[in-house]
Amino acid sequence: MSARRLLLLGPPGVGKGTQALRLARELSVPQISTGDMLRDAVARKSEVGKCAKNAMEQGELVADAIVIRVARERLTQDDACAGFILDGFPRTHEQARALDEMLGELGTPLERCVAITAEEGVLVERLLERAKTEGRSDDNEATIRNRMQVYHEETAPLASYYSEQGLLRDVDGTGSIEEVADRIQGALQ
């Protein structure tokens, strides 16, 4: 039986969102993307949105306390008790510890962390393409470079955090969406 409480880890542009959506449909569990939730908060001009806007536009991380609150609210909703695909959360050690704590309280610990990898040059190209088609305000070259750097400094070290817990599986993120999806399936058995 496939794991259903999952975290997808990986640099910007590696395809986490696409794969998270696919998996969520396949496993009938929600995709939980803090990036999507924060973009929605910015669009609604909510308190969270006002706090998050600047950091997001510059490719910096939104403050841990805010993101942790947003994630907690989502993870405690009923539809997340059968499982979830976390996409873009946690991104720092503090967030990872907070996640462990909240899942511990809920009695639903994480079952697997899938780290999707790809060469940085390929990712920057992909993000620049996405900028043209999707018009995300944080998809310009300076912000993309900054998001990559922030990823290396703050988020990439989480791979060892999950490896120490025996939860980490590395998956090659190059190739077609289907090829990557097949590799992820393999990593979930």
Site of tokens 């060892």: 160
Closest CA to 64 of 33, 99, 35, 92: 92
The residue whose Cβ lies closest to ligand AMP is 35
**The amino acid at 138:** D
Our answer to whether residue 136 is catalytic in this structure is: yes
Could you list the beta-strand ranges (E) of 43-105. Answer: 84-87
Q: Choose one: 2-10, 23-31, 59-67, 125-133; the region binding ligand AMP (CB under 6 A).
A: 59-67
147 binds ligand AMP per the rule CB under 6 A: yes
Catalytic residue among 91, 112, 169, 183: 91
Which DSSP helix (H) or strand (E) runs through 180? helix 177-188
Q: Choose one: 41-49, 58-66, 98-106, 121-129; the region binding ligand AMP (CB under 6 A).
A: 58-66
The sign of the CA dihedral 157, 158, 161, 165 is negative
56 binds ligand AMP per the rule CB under 6 A: yes
**Looking at the annotation, which residues are catalytic?**
16, 91, 130, 136, 147
What are the residues binding ligand AMP (CB under 6 A)?
12, 34-35, 38, 55-56, 59-62, 67, 88-91, 95, 138, 147
